[in-house]
Structure 1
Amino acid sequence: MAASRTVFVVGAGIGGLTASLALAGRGFRVVILEKTERLEEAGAGLQLSPNASRVLIELGLQSRLAASAVTPDAISIMSARAGCEIARLPLGEAATSRAGAPYWVVHRADLQAALQAQVNDNPDIELRLGCQFEDAVPHTKGLTVVQRSGMTRQQEVAMALVGADGIWSAVRSHLFPQTQPQFSGLIAWRGTLEATQLPREHTSRRVQLWMGPNAHLVAYPISGARRINVVAIVPGAWNRPGWSAPGDMTEIKNAFASPQWPPTARMLIGAVDEWRKWALFTLAGGGEWTNGAIALLGDAAHAMLPFAAQGAGMAIEDAAILAKCLGESQHEGGPAISAAMQRYARLRQPRVARVQRFARQTGRIYHLTGPAAYARDLAIKTMGPQRMLARQSWIYDWRA
């Protein structure tokens, strides 16, 4: 492969695979380095609002996701204090038509499998599993990328490198070792269940958001609506290695016990047979994303709280803009590539910082207690569904 057209992408998660497809679409040859021997996406479900699904559709993913992605009819905002729904925000085909792209809920594994299949079919992308990034050395021809596979260590020349290797990014540690993720004090409990385990009235194609005292609960269909994804967010401590561990069912049931949580919310918690809990770490906004011909993308650059349902969406947006910036500079040589990386960061950082702030603020609103929770519920009812949806149009209407 000619170094002048070769871009290395470290990490084969959602952001890395999307970036690889977007870069190949701009005429680059792409090598993906993934340290695991096979792709097994962690977590369970995710939400892809139109800003993200639009990019995936433009990359040719719609047919691959047709059988697994679900377009929910609505978002039901539920109050634990009131014990019922206080607003229903319409989605479905009307929202798809208005935004020009669907709002999807999908199992992470289904999305990653679709992206991997698309990558495997692209002759300009090479996916190297079991291959770990070690170093990147700049020089006049670009970069020498050092990688290791088992006992074999090799070096290759590339024009650029993208670190899409998640919150514990090896590329970020190489570039900016002082930048470390910070624990938020919150734990996400994730699990799934067969839709047939719930009464029929609780398996409709909608996203349920339960707001409660110092915690919240989200449930929505995935895997072609055959399964339900459940995520519970609660405060907690984390003093163990890594950032995920099996969850004790008794612990999460106690966190959502009566009388603070109504029967429907407790039913959702109790229906999950196996939980896994994840410590929510974030990266502070305003940090550095690029150095020369190297750039960070997704959680490696800006890990955020999930309360705006935009973690995957921001990585997908990053991928589109990074490919666009590099594509406009690929024939101009070394200094132009560095300038393209800087332009990518300038274009993305203000929007990502705004989404990070929105997510933090949203989480605080979800977790209000006492009179503040009453005032929140009243405000949501007063605003009505259309105005509530319009509050996020600046996110959903984005285009690359």
Structure 2
Amino acid sequence: MDADRGVAVSRTIIVAGAGIGGLTAALALAAKGFRIVVLERTERLDEVGAGLQLSPNASRILVDLGLQSRLQDCAVAPDAVTAINARSGRAIVRMPIGDVAARTGAPYWVVHRADLQAALAAQVAAHPSIELRLGCAVDDIAPHANGVTVSAGGAQEPGLALIGADGIWSAVRGLTFADTQPLFSGLIAWRGTLPAEAMPDGATLRGVQLWLGPEAHLVVYPISGGRRINLVAVVDGSWNQRGWSARGEPTEIIARFAHWDGAARALIGAVDAWTRWALFGMPDGGVWNRGPVTLLGDAAHGMLPFAAQGAGMAIEDAAVLADCLAASHGEGRGGSAAEVPATLQRYAALRRPRVKRVQQLARQNGVIYHLPGVAALARDVAMRALGPDRLLARQSWIYDWRR
């Protein structure tokens, strides 16, 4: 290897996966002076899924990376989250999210996944230190004294480290931690969207609705600059096929919500096409790194979506990982390849406790959301007694986080 090639490899970080976590990691690392190669197994970037929520802990990072101008026309800042009793249709409590944004100094956004990925991809394409390679699935990983060599798409790419940001069914994790696999939760999420003008009774939705019912819940909020409405309906079931976009039969999901309030049923009935995905999760605390290979986002700690922090935790991971690598291997630092494993262990140690706490919160929320009968009545009474300020304060440890 000639001297120039050696210098290039010593500054190269390989990222597997061009989803939200992988592209955020590429931008965060490039901002620290690294050269980034992103390997994406698909032939085109076509983010599946529908909406997601970005609370200030995550949106602040995106703003710092220069994404605000790219997101301002498609992201929506909801005015509140309203919990609603599914049987009666009455609001349990309304929590003003605008107050959270004002306190933290960063926006609370709801956004279509595809819009967020497109914004990240455009920012990546504009950065001279990032190379995105499509149709390059990771086939093999070979750690060595100078870092790691990744075999993908018929080529070999050497680098200082490899970041597996390739989702819940991560190929990088499979090659590195073969004995650790996601576990099925027994829950299935159905998702669909409808044009904003198709809202029942011509209503205008400005916030997030969280409908709570026995053994099911429904989340509804605007996306795509308010032009569409996102619905996610979560029910229990045994269907556990891998993937994010299996077709769902509308009559099935309509039947599951037949005993809910008419407004909820009207929303569900207004969706023409449903997809569904079985909810899997990783063990609490996640699995993180081995040698010069590390994981982030769902690959490391896939979690249930009931804290609205799946994307947020991946974005946080990316920022913290970039900080750690820059501290030891940034320009002028002189860190050697031999120090990379210790750096990645530090990243894992910083992230593991917080991620574990969020995983546990999401699982607890799922139980609370689906309470039946008398237990649901007690839940509603408790939420009203606590009131919006104290309910929001219980999540301030998430929203107020700064690295």
Whether TM exceeds 0.5 here: the answer is: yes
CA RMSD of superposed structures (Å): 1.2
Match of 2:97 among 91, 96, 117: 91
Alignment of 1:159-308 (within 5 A): 159-199=160-200, 202-238=203-239, 240=241, 242=243, 244-258=245-259, 261-308=260-307
CA distance in 2, matches of 1:194, 1:239: 29
CA distance in 1, matches of 2:233, 2:390: 26
Residue 203 of structure 1: CA displacement? Answer: 2.3
Are the structure 2 counterparts of residues 241 and 393 from structure 1 closer, same or farther at C-alpha, using a change threshold of 3 Å?
A: closer
Counterpart contact for 2:200–2:266, Cα < 8 Å: no
Counterpart contact for 1:203–1:221, Cα < 8 Å: no
Residue 238 of structure 1: CA displacement? Answer: 1.7
Q: Secondary structure at the match of 1:354?
A: helix
Structure 2: unaligned runs, 5 residues or longer: none
Specify the code of the residue in structure 2 equivalent to 1:326: L
Structure 1: unaligned runs, 5 residues or longer: none
Residue 310 (structure 2) pairs with residue 311 (structure 1): yes
Residue 394 of structure 1: CA displacement? Answer: 0.4
CA distance in 2, matches of 1:241, 1:332: 40
CA distance in 2, matches of 1:200, 1:220: 16
Which moved further from structure 2: 25-34 or 234-243?
234-243
Match of 1:123 among 121, 128, 149: 128
Alignment of 1:363-378 (within 5 A): 363-378=366-381
Specify the code of the residue in structure 1 equivalent to 2:62: L
Residue 396 (structure 2) pairs with residue 397 (structure 1): no
Residue 24 (structure 2) pairs with residue 23 (structure 1): no
Counterpart contact for 2:49–2:244, Cα < 8 Å: no
Q: Secondary structure at the match of 1:224?
A: helix
CA distance in 1, matches of 2:304, 2:36: 30
Alignment of 1:141-152 (within 5 A): 141-148=146-153
Which moved further from structure 2: 281-290 or 263-272?
281-290
Instruction: Give the aligned partner of residue 339 of structure 2.
Output: 336
CA distance in 2, matches of 1:391, 1:54: 20
Are the structure 2 counterparts of residues 200 and 101 from structure 1 closer, same or farther at C-alpha, using a change threshold of 3 Å?
A: farther
Residue 305 of structure 1: CA displacement? Answer: 0.3
Residue 134 (structure 2) pairs with residue 135 (structure 1): no
Which moved further from structure 2: 329-338 or 192-201?
192-201
Specify the code of the residue in structure 1 equivalent to 2:169: W
Specify the code of the residue in structure 2 equivalent to 1:292: G
CA distance in 1, matches of 2:82, 2:225: 19
Match of 2:18 among 7, 12, 15: 12
CA distance in 2, matches of 1:127, 1:340: 25
The percentage of counterpart residues that share the same residue type is 64
CA distance in 1, matches of 2:242, 2:401: 38
Instruction: Give the aligned partner of residue 77 of structure 1.
Output: 83
CA distance in 1, matches of 2:314, 2:48: 16
Counterpart contact for 1:81–1:373, Cα < 8 Å: no
Match of 1:58 among 55, 58, 64: 64
Number of aligned residue pairs: give it: 393
Residue 14 (structure 2) pairs with residue 3 (structure 1): no
Specify the code of the residue in structure 2 equivalent to 1:29: R
Specify the code of the residue in structure 1 equivalent to 2:220: A
CA distance in 1, matches of 2:27, 2:389: 35
The one-character-per-residue Cα deviations of 1:63-100 (angstroms, maximum 9, x if unpaired) are 000100000001011011442111110122x4322111
Residue 202 of structure 1: CA displacement? Answer: 3.4
The one-character-per-residue Cα deviations of 1:330-374 (angstroms, maximum 9, x if unpaired) are 131122211110000000000000000000000100000011000
The one-character-per-residue Cα deviations of 1:224-270 (angstroms, maximum 9, x if unpaired) are 00100000000011254645410011100000002xx1011111100
Residue 16 of structure 1: CA displacement? Answer: 0.1
Residue 163 of structure 1: CA displacement? Answer: 0.1
CA distance in 1, matches of 2:72, 2:24: 18
Specify the code of the residue in structure 1 equivalent to 2:247: P
Instruction: Give the aligned partner of residue 154 of structure 1.
Output: 155
CA distance in 2, matches of 1:59, 1:250: 43
Counterpart contact for 2:78–2:206, Cα < 8 Å: yes
Residue 362 (structure 2) pairs with residue 359 (structure 1): yes
Counterpart contact for 2:84–2:90, Cα < 8 Å: yes
Match of 2:353 among 347, 350, 360: 350
Instruction: Give the aligned partner of residue 48 of structure 1.
Output: 54
CA distance in 1, matches of 2:341, 2:241: 39
Specify the code of the residue in structure 2 equivalent to 1:341: L
TM-score normalised per structure 2: 0.95
Q: Secondary structure at the match of 2:380?
A: helix
Instruction: Give the aligned partner of residue 109 of structure 1.
Output: 114
CA distance in 2, matches of 1:224, 1:239: 33
CA distance in 1, matches of 2:347, 2:265: 45
The one-character-per-residue Cα deviations of 1:98-124 (angstroms, maximum 9, x if unpaired) are 111011000000000000000000000
The one-character-per-residue Cα deviations of 1:44-81 (angstroms, maximum 9, x if unpaired) are 00000000100100000000001000000010110114
CA distance in 1, matches of 2:250, 2:174: 35
Counterpart contact for 2:307–2:361, Cα < 8 Å: yes
CA distance in 1, matches of 2:326, 2:168: 26
